A and B are shown apart, each in its own frame.
Chain A
Amino acid sequence: MPQAPGLGEFETLLLLAILHLTEQKVDANGSAIRDEIQTRAERHVPRGSVYVTLDRLEEKGFLSSREISGSAARGHRPKRVFKVTAEGVHTVRSAVAAVTKMQRGLQDVLGRL
């Protein structure tokens, strides 16, 4: 079975959150990604973990980032926006597929997710 190389649960959540924001045409910066995870996964995520993990995923080549000019609310500081690379999409797909396959036949135990 193909296995997502070095992708942990939190990393998977991050990649999925960025994909959601990209689909929504929202700038996927650190704060937005964190809010997306907290909203969808309903759990608190430390800010530090989000930024460190984003840097790590970019190093692995699953993400790319670019800086755009910032608004006055942020003191005109640049905004770093993330995008999942093709390799990242492939990797997150493999990880999600593995989880989906694993949960098949366990509806009685796990209930409908």
Chain B
Amino acid sequence: MSARLWQIVERRLRQVLPPAYLASTIGDLAEDYERVRTCKGALRASLWLVREAVSLIRAYRRARRSPQTTSKLMLADDFRLAWRRLVVHPSAPVQCVLLLAIGIGLSTTMFSVVDSLLLTPAPFRQGRHLVEQTFWQPEPAVMQAWRTSGMFEVVEAGRQARFQVGDTSETSAGAYVTPGVFGMLDARAVRGRLFSAQEAWTGANDVVLLSETVWRSSFGSDPALLGRRIRLSGTPVTVVGIMPETFRFPAPDTAWWRPFDPSAKTAGPATVFGRVRTGIPRIDLERRVEKMAREFGRIPANYRGTPALQPVAGGDLGAFTNRALWMLVGGVTLVFIVLCSNVSSLLLAGLSSRRREFAVCAALGASRTRLLRQAAIEHVLIAAAGTVAGVCIARALVANVPEFFLGRSLNVIDVDHRALTAASVLGACSVLMAGLVPAWLGTRTEPSDAVLGSRYGTTDGRLNRTATQLLVVGQVALACALLVGSALLLRSFGNLAHADRGLNLDGVVHINLSGLDNAFPSPEAMGAGTNAIETQVASWPEVSSFALSREAPPSVRASRLEPQSTDGTARETGSGNLEADRYRVSPAFFGFYDITIEQGRNFESGDSEDLVIVGARLARLLWPGDDPIGKTFDSGDMGVNRVIGVAGEIHLPTLTSELDRPEFYTPMGNRSRTVIVNMRCRSACPSAEVLRARLAAIHPAIGARIDPPSANEYLSHLRLPRALAKVGGLFAIVSILTAAGGLFSLMMQAVAGRRREFGIRLALGASPGQMRGLVLRDGLTMGACGATAGTIGGWTIGRALSGFQYGVTPADPATWAGVVGAIAIVALAATWCPARRAMRIDPVHLLREE
């Protein structure tokens, strides 16, 4: 064992000792070892040898260290000290980490979503240079004009569509695009090929590209799909390629692409896309594009709308949702400020004790740099932990971004590193500033003052208390403002959800009949066919009631016209034309939907198409104060109509008030090629296949599709208000809880700092109830100050949110009463526990401690 031990010792000493002195030093050690072994035995000599060798190794290692190494060791010591301190007193650091994490997570998520939807251009080559303009029909002449204008590098076109895949009734989003679109966007297929130029021509266009997502989900990633024929909306097409999952164009949910020939006479709107040459000013571009459109007669002479030329944006939200997103950004910024100020107030609350600690350390010889470094390390650790946790929260939130946003972004929504860095830096600054102040002040304080102050001081430092109180009041104010905003959004959502729609949609199912133009080519045949369909539906045993119409509510499914009164009082509607929805309905329509006929009469079979029933609102707008029965108006495409009745108003409750238009009804007539069967079933409705089979008895060309129920359309208009109310509510809850936590910490700290004062007061005869009242008064005063300051912020936020309110105003008394009550309850709850602690102070116990 001895030989082996000596081998180890020699090897280790060789690593450390200078080679010149190695032999002599080991010789000394060996000589002494023999002496010890003779006196004390081999075992104890071995232990002695180890001890002596360790002493040599340590001493030489220490001697060899450079100043940099020493500095590194000190740094390591500082880290160790900081870690130990955080572990021993984990309460405040853990709270700070949590608050920072929530703040960083929320703000990063919000900014990432906004960046993806609003700020980042479409994810294609030179995405900022891509523009689009939509026309009512394909416009080869306009495309040619764009090409020859010299303003565009590339001009292509496309049209969105929905395709029925195979024999299923499900439809999927797709698009017809010119073959050059892929080159313009620099897109490549992950498998197969793109369209060739010839494949745009009619006759050669039976090819299709599909998304990788569909390839995986619907075809099980089958590599043999390429070249196979599949049926798309009844047409056999050959799959020629598979596009990457990240390729989203022209809509975020587009999964199928077919070649598009702009010169073909196809119905439906088409969009012209172009990549603008570098250096063309946007204003010139818009002016020239509009001029071209006017030259081709594509824009009416009296058109006063916004420019039709739009950038191909990363997100497709519409101005209204854009504004909502920016409001949410404002909200999350306020929440972030609340959280950061709470972190600061938490750290400042322990200012006096940390000041004493640092002062004593300074008195014991610690340099100011060392103390500041220790404090910085401690708070950097807190900030780092908060950032790491914030990143995790942001990742989790971004991964669960509502479908509402995901389905509207051409960009893939991911954590934005710029937002993350900015939030982390701001959060770290708030931690470091609040953490370094005590260290700085501590090194400037006389140790005797600090120690005496702690022993005989009755209250905490005034500066410290004032700073912390101001931070807490600020938090309460911001929380109050956010609470007002979210309460208004919640009330708006409630109002929207319970608003009167003016019609009964319970159990309504819409059957959309197609192929009628083939089945009934002439108006006479169409009239007879419609009657046959009515008779057929009436015989279905599952159907309890039904009505035929060409359109079905809500208004987004109706035809939009611009009626103008041809008699009676001139209408004064301010700027813009009056838009109204037209429903072509059978006489049973009103009874089916429980829409009352307030004046005049319902339609009867055989009524001519120039007779109309107007909604109550349209009647008021066209003939205010007059009896509308017998009045006439020009509805645009149908000539002059005569009013025979006034129906109860139907509403589309939505934040976008222009969608809730007035309406009028005309008889179904024989001109339209669409028929919708509005029906209610006794139990289960027949499937589309059964319906098609039954309708084939009338004519085999008639197709039937079950449309989503109208209730879905109404619910879709609640999605944005619901999302706003949810996110606003989340912000308000986070901020109010944070403010309550800040108030609670401050009051606990204040009670701890004033124990001696309370003890003396109690000894002098004050009652415990008076002590409780003292603390409660302080807490509630701060709550009241915060609420008062928050009133201004709340009013401002309420005004800013006025576009998102429905049936409620920023001055809504119930909202304000609720907010003030909530603030009072929170302030009382946060102060109650510290107040009870103050009440239970025992003077005798306190004196014993002294």
Contact = CB atoms under 8 A, between A and B. Distances in A.
Contact of B27 (A48, A52, A74): A74
B21 A55 contact: yes
B28 A73 contact: no
B30 A73 contact: yes
B58 interface: yes
B28 A31 contact: yes
A47 B55 contact: yes
B18 interface: yes
Contacts, number: 66
B27 A46 contact: no
B18 A74 contact: no
A73 to B, nearest CB: 5
A20 interface: no
B31 A31 contact: yes
A29 B24 contact: yes
Interface in A43-79: 46-49, 51-52, 55-56, 67, 70-71, 73-75, 77-79
Given A31-B32, A47-B52, A55-B21, A77 B27 contact: yes
Given A78-B23, A78-B24, A80-B21, A52 B63 contact: yes
B26 A77 contact: yes
A30 interface: yes
Given A73-B30, A77-B30, A48 B25 contact: no
Interface string A8-34: 000000000000000000000111000
Nearest to A80: B24
A29 B25 CA distance: 9
B60 interface: yes
B25 A51 contact: yes
Contact of B57 (A48, A49, A71): A48
A12 to B, nearest CB: 18
Interface string B30-73: 11101000000000000000001001111110110000000000
B56 A51 contact: yes
Contacts of B24: 29-30, 67, 70, 77-80
A36 B530 CA distance: 125
Nearest to A76: B27
A44 to B, nearest CB: 11
Contacts of B63: 52, 55-56
A71 B21 CA distance: 17
B59 A30 contact: no
Nearest to A81: B24
Interface in B188-212: none
B21 A73 contact: no
Contacts of B52: 47
Contacts of B21: 51, 55, 80
A49 B59 contact: yes
A81 to B, nearest CB: 9
Contacts of A49: 55, 59
Contacts of B59: 46-49, 51-52
A75 to B, nearest CB: 5
A30 to B, nearest CB: 5
Nearest to A70: B27
Contacts of A31: 28-29, 31-32
B56 A47 contact: yes
Contacts of A80: 21, 24-25, 28
Contacts of A70: 24, 27, 31
A80 B20 CA distance: 10
**Range of interface residues on A (Cβ < 8 Å):** 20 to 34
Nearest to B54: A48
A77 B28 CA distance: 9
A79 B57 contact: no
Nearest to B22: A77
A74 B55 contact: no
B30 A48 contact: no
A75 B25 CA distance: 12
A67 B25 CA distance: 11
Given A47-B56, A48-B56, A75 B30 contact: yes
A71 B31 CA distance: 9
A74 B24 CA distance: 9
A48 B60 contact: yes
A30 B28 contact: yes
Nearest to B24: A80
A55 B24 CA distance: 13
A46 B52 CA distance: 8
B450 to A, nearest CB: 34
A29 B18 contact: no
B18 A48 contact: no
Interface string B1-33: 000000000000000001001011111111110
Q: Which of B26, B28, B62 has the most CB of A within 10 A?
A: B28
Interface in B744-791: none
Nearest to B58: A48
Contacts of B56: 47-48, 51
B27 A75 contact: yes
Contact of A73 (B23, B25, B31): B31
A76 to B, nearest CB: 8
A46 B55 contact: yes
A77 to B, nearest CB: 3
Nearest to B6: A75
Contacts of B31: 31, 70-71, 73-74
A30 B24 CA distance: 9
Nearest to B27: A77
B34 A73 contact: yes
Contacts of A77: 23-24, 26-27, 30
Contacts of B27: 70, 74-75, 77-79
A99 B21 CA distance: 33
Contacts of A74: 27-28, 30-31
Contacts of B32: 31
A79 B23 CA distance: 8
A14 to B, nearest CB: 13
A90 to B, nearest CB: 25
A50 to B, nearest CB: 8
A79 B29 CA distance: 11
B60 A79 contact: no
A70 B28 CA distance: 9
Contact of B28 (A48, A52, A55, A79): A79
A90 B62 CA distance: 29
Contacts of A71: 31
B25 A30 contact: yes
Contact of A55 (B18, B23, B29, B57): B18
Nearest to A30: B28
Q: Which of B23, B52, B57, B62 has the most CB of A within 10 A?
A: B23
Contacts of A47: 29, 52, 55-56, 59
Q: Which of A56, A73, A74, A79 has the most CB of B within 10 A?
A: A74
15 contacts: A31-B32, A51-B21, A51-B56, A52-B59, A52-B60, A56-B63, A70-B31, A73-B30, A73-B31, A74-B27, A77-B27, A79-B24, A79-B28, A80-B21, A80-B28
Interface of A: 29-31, 46-49, 51-52, 55-56, 67, 70-71, 73-75, 77-80
Given A31-B28, A52-B63, 17 more contacts: A29-B28, A31-B29, A31-B31, A46-B59, A47-B52, A47-B55, A48-B55, A51-B59, A55-B21, A55-B63, A70-B24, A70-B31, A73-B30, A77-B26, A77-B27, A79-B27, A80-B24
Interface of B: 18, 21, 23-32, 34, 52, 55-60, 62-63
In the A-B complex, the 10 residue pairs with the smallest Cβ-Cβ separation, listed nearest first, are A48-B59, A77-B27, A80-B24, A48-B55, A74-B27, A74-B31, A31-B28, A48-B56, A52-B59, A46-B55
